[in-house]
Structure 1
């Protein structure tokens, strides 16, 4: 037994580290980082000088007690990054992302002989990107997501969401095994340096949302690229034929640039492509040059806002894995092919603002698409008739439907009543007539209804006061869109259906009668627009129950009586318009009412307030201006939504959220 105990002691001494704690030199380097922070996110309670730094929060050491990882993402850190981190000779991975760090990125980090992953994204770092040194010592590369035998040190450089400026330095060409360069959402400018195209090891090149420009002709040299994201810059020229050399490419994102020309035939050679996003450029010509049949892995194709012509090539429908297809705002014409039914997984389809014809056949074809959740086909089928027949039977999973701005005649069709999952319905700017059907209240998930700028008649139907989603504060389903949905006026981006407000828009129609008192039941409403109708009577006091209301537009009617004083309790109200009615009495002058412009009350000679020309109690005061506000202005005011957080929301172009 004594000999066994001795053996165990010897074994323990062999496998134990040479030292029991990190070196004073490395501890001092980390404490210098801590000293440079104005807010340390509570690190000081763990990072104490009398303890082993290998036990500190966010610190990992190897068996030799050398610091290998500093992982301090999302810790609420503020202050500067100390150059002392460059003294950690065993440091492999540094992650300071998602904090509020400022100042410059120390050159000691990007020239470190040991760091293989450097992530400082989502901070406030500024200054120019320093040119990297001409050479760095080699060491084994150990990245869990990218196994590799050996390579020089820097393999992953993540600088996104900071304030870096200036040009991309040519020194990056010396990073001979750099696999990921990500510097999106900064202020970088100039052209891509030629040396960048010599980093043939690059697998991920991501530089979106900068001020970069010039051509991308050298991109074909990066034959290992899996991701190419140069979106939201100022790149010009065409996509070179050499794009076909990128056999591994899966993500091609060139959206929001000034690129032009036809799509190269060689794009068909990128058979691993999963995403092609070319939206908002000046690409032109027909799409027939691209053999989409060879892109069997393609899931998302976005060609929004370009100048493509001809018919939609049927080879697109060979991409049977497509989940999202957006071809809006181009010049495609003709009828939709039945072969689109081959896209069994298609969830997001936007074809609006083209010159497509035959809406009845289009809807018959698409109704069999069981996976379809978002459908935008507005600004097509001009002057056709809204289909009424029962041959349109499907769309059971549809959540968003837009058939706006088509000048369609007819009435709201009964087949819409079958769309039990519908959350948003856009029928504005058509020539629809008749009454709103009572079954509208049976669509239990409908929270956004826009039937403005039509010719609907009759009183506001009671069924609209019974819509379940508008009567409650319940949020719409948290469903993610297949393509990023964004408002190009404010550059706000949306990924979920529930990001949109609850809206009832009946503006610019021929509704008559009074505003029903039951309107007060729609307590979930964010925006209510009844402008430019022929409504009469008084403003119902029950509107004051709509405590979530941010937009209220009753302009251009024949309303009488006073403005209810209790409206001052609508604390979120940021846009209000009752102009061009026959209202009288004092305007509430407390709270947000003191911030509304005079135009919100114009065209009501009997209204008075210290805020406008007609002062209350002044017999000699002149009347409020009755200058006519044109339909275009009324329309713009009626559809503008300004959220409390400063989001400008313009319903005229709402369809452009989805293309």
Structure 2
């Protein structure tokens, strides 16, 4: 996002203020500043600072004076000041610059400040100011000198004023984003403020159509009104704004098609962001005339057709976001080799087909490439190794083949942090090649839903930066490798729905980030700025924002694991989700599971577990999902704590369990004890029976011989 540059006249004034020598301020100036201080409920230590220089307020923290001993600037951003903003600041008749941003000020924004006869810069952003914005024309009749007004990230509500701007002839920048303003965008904005350069109304509740009068803002460079409730079409008149460089209306309810004939009138436009609307039709061929275009965001609309080959003419493009549309055809019609500045290409969930064009591998500055959810096929070219800056690659849900070649090709992408290649390479063998290398920076690897065969490969143990490993929904066999604990940064492991066998290795209980609440488990924060969704990494097709898919998880469900659940599992105290369902585990639920007090989901269903439910499971206060159905558990269900909140489906299929949520209620009289014969006791009884039978028949035979001797 381009930053807004304050016009030279404003910079001159600010620099002149900063360069002015500090002298002693007047008593009247000091009095007004002290009234401001008195209105604070918490001063963040400001009173101490001011008191130490009580004779000269020009030396007070955050206060600047000019050579005439008049206060020209009050800059107290991020000082922890609380309370209401006193109107006494407006009595400082030479005050030019007020910065009270990043404080928890409350109350309203006083009209005295907005109607000041001297203030040219007023910044109260990132506070807790609320109520309506003053409607100045009812209070003042002459034009105000205010040039920069930043009221963003507060709690202002009610209808966004329209008459106020009629007396703001000098306004250059207005930022009212991230509030709760309602109503329409005032059509009088440009008429009242003809010098307006920046207008930011994002993240409010504005509705109605986009006023055509915005096209009269001849000086307007940055127009941002995303994340509101606007409707109608994007008026062609808006492209009459001769200086427009940044046009952003994402996540509204805009409809219609893009008018290529009018868009090209603004050949100096650098950012076009209309994503998250209901725009239909094709991308016009004339888009190639926007040769200065750097960011194109048309994702999450209803657009269709082939991508125009003229897109290749936009040689300054850094971001192309066309995700979640219905674009079709061969991507090769666009010559990406001309887009040497391209950093992010997002085409997820369209209907594009063919092979990945070789020209993409010429975009040497590409950082993020997402081709998921299309109909691409064939093999990934070895030339993908040319993308030395690639950090994010998602190929999910296509028809790519030759997974071994793909991984070898990606070895040269040394900066890759997130690699999502699931729903491809169907029924191929999991590469066991020991020479696969080069993924030292890989943090997130997903190879789900490929029906891959073979074992969990040893080369994964080399991925020392790995934090998330998803191998679910394949046909992997063999045991869980004992080297798993060597992945010191791993906090999410999902190998569910495979055919893995053997017992759970104790080394799995020694994974550092699952044992402690140690921070630093999140993905590379630099990737969050890409604004990308991790789509299709799980069977449920959940969508995760990078950075939010950070729940500590162990999922071994739907395999053929056997043995007893190790008591060492209680060491994984940081787990939020544990799934051991649909295996062949037997024995009792280990008491140590009760140590996993952070658990939100626990699934032990469809095993052969026996014994009673540990009463201490009641202490898992964060459990929102719990399932121990279809085992051989017995005894009463604990009636207190978190377990009492779950339905019978969490406990069904255990004939010997009883409780109020089951058909089998526990009687008021203590049930007769159920004796379980151990193997040793059983063998002893069998030996006794056999010995008794042998003795009996020997005795009978002896009797018969005696009788035969004497009576035969």
**Same fold flag (TM > 0.5):** yes
Q: Is the 8 A contact 1:47 1:53 kept in 2?
A: no
Q: Specify which structure has the bigger relative contact order, considering alpha-carbon pairs within 8 angstroms and separated by 6 or more residues.
A: 1
* Residue from 509, 514, 518 that aligns with 1:470: 514
**Within the alignment, does 1:448 sit opposite 2:499 as a pair?**
no
TM-fit CA distance, 1:545: 0.5
1:104 positional shift: 1.2
Answering whether residue 427 of structure 2 is matched by residue 386 of structure 1, we say no
- Deviation, 1:592, is 2.7
**1:122 aligned residue:** 178
Equivalent-residue separation in structure 1 for 2:522 and 2:160 (angstroms): 42
Correspondence for 1:52 among 78, 92, 104: 92
Tell me how far apart the structure 1 counterparts of residues 136 and 541 of structure 2 sit (CA, whole Å). 41
Whether 1:158 aligns to 2:210 is no
The alpha-carbon deviation at position 487 of structure 1 amounts to: 6.9
Tell me the SS of whatever aligns to 1:362: helix
What secondary structure is seen at the aligned counterpart in 1 of 2:602?
Answer: strand
Moved more, 458-467 or 64-73: 64-73
CA 1:100 to 1:135, structure 2 compared with 1: closer, same or farther past 3 Å? closer
Distance 1:491 1:532, change over 3 A: closer
Structure-2 separation of matches of 1:127 and 1:612: 54
Are 2:100 and 1:100 equivalent residues in the alignment? no
Q: Distance in 1 between matches of 2:85 and 2:206?
A: 32
Query: What does residue 194 of structure 1 align with?
Result: 236
Deviation digits for residues 327-364 of structure 1 (CA, Å, limit 9, x no counterpart): 11111100110111111111111111111111111111
Q: 1:439 to 1:536 in 2, by over 3 A?
A: same
Match of 1:637 in 2: none
> Which residue of 1 is the match for residue 125 of structure 2?
73
CA deviation profile, 1:498-544 (whole Å, cap 9, x unmatched): 75111110000001111110000011111100011111111111001
Give the structure-2-normalised TM-score: 0.76
1:335 is the counterpart of 2:379: yes
Over 3 Å counting, the alpha-carbon distance change for 1:345 and 1:134 in structure 2 is: closer
Q: Which residue of 1 aligns with 2:284?
A: 240
Q: Report the secondary structure of 2:219's partner residue.
A: coil
Bigger strand share: 1
Query: What SS does the aligned partner of 1:583 have?
Result: strand
Question: Does 1:593 find its partner at 2:637?
Answer: no
State the Cα distance separating 1:48 from its structure 2 match: 2.9
Quote the Cα distance in structure 1 between the aligned partners of 2:546 and 2:94. 41
**Equivalences for 1:421-432 in 2 at 5 Å?**
421-432=465-476
Contact map agreement 1:21 1:54 (CA 8 A) in 2:
no
Give the CA deviation at 1:289: 1.4
2:279 counterpart of 1:223: no
Structure 1 CA distance, aligned partners of 2:603 and 2:162? 57
Distance in 1 between residues matched to 2:85 and 2:196, nearest whole Å: 32
1:532-585 alpha-carbon deviations (Å, 9 max, x no partner): 111111111100111111110111111111211111111111111111112122
1:206 equivalent to 2:243? Answer: no
1:559 maps to 609
The answer to whether residue 570 in structure 2 is matched with residue 520 in structure 1 is yes
Change in CA separation of 1:115 and 1:57 when aligned onto 2, cut-off 3 Å: closer
Q: Would you say the 8 A contact 1:410–1:432 is kept in 2?
A: yes
Aligned residue for 1:484?
A: 531
CA deviation vs aligned residue, 1:29-83 (integer Å, no higher than 9, x gap):
xx9xxxxxxxx97453643379526669538999x96111221001111111111
Unaligned segments of structure 1, at least 5 residues: 1-11, 32-39, 138-151, 622-659
Aligned-residue CA RMSD in angstroms? 3.1
Aligned twin of 1:363: 407
Q: Say whether the 8 Å CA contact 2:93–2:117 is kept in structure 1.
A: no
User: Which residue number corresponds to residue 403 of structure 1?
Assistant: 447
CA distance in 1, matches of 2:201, 2:286: 28
In structure 2, which of residues 285, 295, 308 is the aligned counterpart of residue 251 of structure 1?
Answer: 295
Q: Which residue of 2 aligns with 1:280?
A: 324
**TM-aligned CA deviation for residue 441 of structure 1:** 0.9
Number of equivalenced pairs: 577
Cα separation, 2, equivalents of 1:485 and 1:286? 23
Structure 2 SS opposite 1:190: coil
Mark the structure with the bigger radius of gyration.
2
- Deviation at residue 186 of structure 1 after TM alignment: 0.8
**TM-superposed deviation, 1:598:** 2.2
* Secondary structure of 2:223 counterpart: strand
Residues 551 and 575 in structure 1, CA contact (< 8 A), matched pair in contact too = yes
1:174 to 204, 213, 216: 216
Alpha-carbon spacing, 1:43–1:539, altered in 2? closer, same or farther (3 Å): closer
- Quick check: 2:636–2:659 contact (8 Å CA) kept in 1? yes
Decide which of 593, 616, 620 is 1:543's aligned counterpart.
593
Q: Distance in 2 between matches of 1:104 and 1:134?
A: 18
Deviations along 1:110-131, one digit per CA (max 9) or x if unpaired, are 4432211111100011112232
Change (3 A) 1:169 1:551: same
Residue 664 of structure 2 aligns with which residue? 614
Does the CA-based 8 Å contact 1:78-1:102 persist in structure 2? yes
Distance 1:575 1:436 in 2: 26
- Cα distance, 1:615 vs. partner? 2.0
CA 1:43 to 1:221, structure 2 compared with 1: closer, same or farther past 3 Å?
A: farther
Query: Cα offset for 1:135?
Result: 3.8
Q: 1:486 to 1:598 in 2, by over 3 A?
A: farther
Contact 1:59 1:67 in 2 (8 A): no
Q: Which residue of 1 aligns with 2:61?
A: none
Query: Shift of the alpha carbon at 1:460?
Result: 1.4
Give secondary structure in 2 for the equivalent of 1:288: helix
Q: C-alpha offsets along residues 416-474 of structure 1, whole Å, 9 cap, x if unaligned?
A: 11111111111110100000111111111111111000000111121211111111111
Q: 1:214 to 1:595 in 2, by over 3 A?
A: farther
Deviations 1:261-310 (A, max 9, x none): 11011111111000001111111101111111110000111111111100
Quick check: 1:155–1:179 contact (8 Å CA) kept in 2? Answer: yes
Quick one: distance in 1 between partners of 2:152 and 2:501? 57
Q: Give the counterpart of 2:545 among 486, 489, 494.
A: 494
- Contact 1:272–1:297 (CA under 8 A) maintained in structure 2: yes
1:359-416 alpha-carbon deviations (Å, 9 max, x no partner): 1111111122211111111111101101112231221111111111110110011111
